[in-house]
Structure 1
Amino acid sequence: MVKPNTAFRPIALVLAAGRSSRTAPDHKLLAHDAAGQTMLARTVSTALHSNAEQVVVVVPPDKPELSAHLSNTFQNEQKLHLCLAHDAADGLSASLRAGIEAAEALKASSVLVCLADMPLVSTGLLNALLAEHRRHQAAATAPDRGGRPGNPVVWSSTEFAALKQIRGDKGGRALLQALGQKVHLVPAPLEELVDFDTPERLAVYARLPAQSG
């Protein structure tokens, strides 16, 4: 059995290595809101303002414009780390695996896994998830989405090995189902738990006002 990391050191992971095929040729993460902020920068900014000790953004090796955008937007941000998902073409699991390995190198006690195309998630929700996870010492902590876990998810280090075993274009949903009652659900505003991954949703994103925190 993997022993948990007893020190409280949560690391946020922002998974941004997806193919963005549903919005091609435009890359959804570089879409701008009404204030000119990209979806990627908005999501990363929220994570940076959270109580996570460090933020690791997982990007694909074939989209250098994403890394360049982050480096230019968050210059001299010591809390931010970029991580390449070299097997990004294998799907979401490859991004998750790369992020977990990066978090392990940073001695993470837990990881807060955020999806880059969910820019409405607030810093308040991220901090609530982190606080509840620390309080309940659950295997995983997630927003309550009608009695089921939604995203983002805080995972204990005890689950890192299982997360790294996932393959294909999928994340931790099956593991959450297997954990059952070991997953702690936290009340969350459902309007924040929305992803923007179609041309129609990008049109909605383009009308969003400036980020309010």
Structure 2
Amino acid sequence: LLALFDGKPLVRRAAERALGSRAANTIVVTGHQRERVRGALSGLDVILADNPDFADGLSSSLKAGIARVSAEAAGAMIVLGDMPGVSSADLDRLIEAFRRSGGRSVVRAAHDGRRGNPVLLPRSLFGAIAHLEGDTGARHLVEAGGLDVVDVEIGKAASVDVDTREAVEGAGGVLQD
């Protein structure tokens, strides 16, 4: 998350893109290297959600973020911090599809017809998310939930994440100490 892309930490770049979209608020969940990540976000109008249980896996971060979503929000868009190609325009396309569904469908980014990220989850899934455990996200809830799922083609950005040294360097990033 602290690797530099175009001279900027990846987590800041992701937050700026979320802030540049039509999303009502941007919540950033911090865990590993919390203080360094917070420093990289300095000056941005984001809501910070600390996840002291980050080592327990993805579900703990998802729960920490969902817990900070406004009571008035119809849903929450889950934007991973390690996807350098996702743009504000991509996020807006997901938001628009969610609005067209009346805020009741799961909307997820796709690449060549395959599911990817980000994903926009309707409020109706929030209760089930609160009960997730371990290193699991909401994928099985989406697939078993009986909700309509709308895939929005955003191209390669939906499937490129940089969670290894090789992936960071291959995508043009520079790792920091």
- The verdict on a shared fold, with TM-score over 0.5 as the criterion, is yes
TM-score (norm. length: structure 1)? 0.74
In 1, the alpha carbon distance for the partners of 2:147 and 2:47 equals 33
1:115-168 CA distances to partner (integer Å, 9 max, x unpaired)? Answer: 000121011110000001010133311123454432100111111111111111
CA distance in 2, matches of 1:147, 1:179: 20
Residue number among 17, 22, 25 corresponding to 1:46 in the alignment: 17
Q: Please say if 1:65 is aligned against 2:53.
A: no
After superposing the two structures, state which structure 1 stretch, 170-179 or 115-124, moved more.
170-179
Aligned to 2:69: 103
Structure 1 segments (4+ residues) deviating >2 Å: 144-149, 190-193, 204-208
User: 2:134 maps to which residue?
Assistant: 168
In the alignment, the residues of structure 2 paired with residue 61 and residue 198 of structure 1 have an alpha-carbon distance, to the nearest angstrom, of 15
Match of 1:36 in 2: 7
For residues 157-180 of structure 1, what are the alpha-carbon distances to aligned partners after superposition, in whole Å with 9 as ceiling and x for unaligned? 111111111111111111121136
Asked if structure 1 preserves the Cα contact closer than 8 Å seen for 2:109 and 2:115, the reply is: yes
Q: Is the 2:27–2:47 Cα contact (8 Å) retained in structure 1? A: yes
**Equivalent residues in 2 for 1:134-213 (5 A)?**
134-137=99-102, 138-179=104-145, 182-206=148-172
Would you say the 8 A contact 2:83–2:157 is kept in 1? no
**1:93 touches 1:168 (CA, 8 Å); kept in 2?**
yes
Task: Compute the displacement of 1:207 (Å).
Answer: 5.4
- Number of aligned residue pairs: give it: 173
| Secondary structure of the structure 1 residue equivalent to 2:8 | coil
Identity %: 34
**8 Å contact 1:120–1:193 — kept in the other structure?**
no
Could you tell me how far apart the structure 2 residues matched to 1:124 and 1:173 are?
A: 24
Which amino acid letter does the alignment assign opposite residue 30 of structure 1? L
Q: Is the 8 A contact 2:109 2:158 kept in 1?
A: no
Partner-residue secondary structure (3-state), 2:68? helix
SS of the aligned residue for 1:206 comes to coil
The answer to whether the 8 A contact 1:114-1:153 is kept is yes
